Amino acid sequence: MKKSVKKRENTKKVHPKTYARTPRGLQLRFLDWLSGFNARLTDRQQSFLIRRPHRSFRRTYRRDYVRRLRIPGYVAFTHEVNRMLLQYRRVFIGLAIVYALTIAFVGGLTNQEVYGQISTLMKESSQELMKGGVGKISQAGILLAATVFGGGSDLSADQQIYLGLALMMVWLATVWLLREFMLGRKPTLRDGLYNSAAPLVSTLVVVFVLAIQLLPAGVVALAYAGLVSVGLATEGFGAMIFWVTAVLVAVLSLYWITSTLIAMVVVTLPGMYPFRALKAASDLVVGRRLRILYRWLWAVLVVVVSWLVIMVPTILLDSWLKDTWKQLDAIPIVPIGVAFLSAVTMVWFAAYVYLLYRKVVDDDAKPA
């Protein structure tokens, strides 16, 4: 019998080039590093061009940029999100209660005395301007806006940090729980609170990028306040120039955050890094960014309408109860309602973003 001859594998290790510590050797080492850097940069550019078929300053025909996106209609998808949350309502209502209690514990509730002063001022100033049922509804809407946007103005920096961390924990817990439920598992609220915080640092990096993307809009808002104080943006040509600039800046910020909201879900995947998540999310929205942006705007519209439908009657009921029974003046009915509805809104919006992300991922259409 012939003996089987085993081929010896080449076990020699390839060592990097070594250069003498001379001026000529340092020059060769730098040229070698520069060549490798250029090769990596070229590979990254080619990969980007393959993933992004569109070119700057070149016309892209519609047949070349249409990308399929099979998602239910606006109302149908909203019902799907609501059904998902109602199916596991015990867990998600518990999560909303935890966040609402955190808001109350940290001091995020609007001071009842401040709310009472605002309400009294509104009643005194609107006796002549607002009469009848429509006037009361308008007054309740203005009071709601003052409560929501002015409630956190007296918070310290530490309180704002605690509330921000609590908000991030609610986001991560909602995404983690939904992922587990869709895998057929049965996690509890405790599981979600304890196990969802692993990607907290990565998520904070993505949130920081989101804040940078919203920074131009904030600068425009500050500029508007300054220009109005000196009368340059109130009327005439100056107002027209400002509002054109504001619209352009708002469009730019919306363009950026369309993919960043998706990245806030992608970054929660195990082993995912923040900038890799931003890259993956940006690839997902290529060719369908505008349609996804419409979904975000629809979600904001649903939130605003829900707040008006729930909180305006609550404010009217609170006003009637406290006018009838003075003993109820010390009970912060509206601030508690605002805190709880804020928690429910956060859970619902996180669920909306996550389920939309799943729809986009399931539709594995390649970029045109």
Sequence-distant (6+) residues with CB within 8 A of 366 are 67
Confidence (pLDDT) at 135: 59
Confidence (pLDDT) at 125: 53
- pTM for this prediction: 0.79
Under 8 Å between Cβ of 236 and 327:
no
Confidence (pLDDT) at 7: 45
- DSSP secondary-structure letter at 271? T
**Alpha carbon 281 to chain centroid, angstroms:** 13
- DSSP secondary-structure letter at 54? -
Indicate the domain borders of the chain. Answer: 70-362
C-alpha–C-alpha distance, residues 181 and 193, integer Å? 15
Confidence (pLDDT) at 206: 94
Under 8 Å between Cβ of 314 and 337:
yes
CA dist 221 to 118, 153, 216, 249, 277, Å? 25, 17, 9, 11, 30
Helix (H, G, I), strand (E, B) or coil at 8: coil
C-alpha–C-alpha distance, residues 362 and 275, integer Å? 22
Confidence (pLDDT) at 8: 47
Confidence (pLDDT) at 116: 63
Confidence (pLDDT) at 126: 53
Confidence (pLDDT) at 168: 92
C-alpha–C-alpha distance, residues 226 and 30, integer Å? 51
Q: Which residues of the chain have pLDDT under 50?
A: 1-11, 14, 128-129
Confidence (pLDDT) at 3: 47
DSSP 237-278: HHHHHHHHHHHHHHHHHHHHHHHHHHHHHHTTSTT--HHHHH
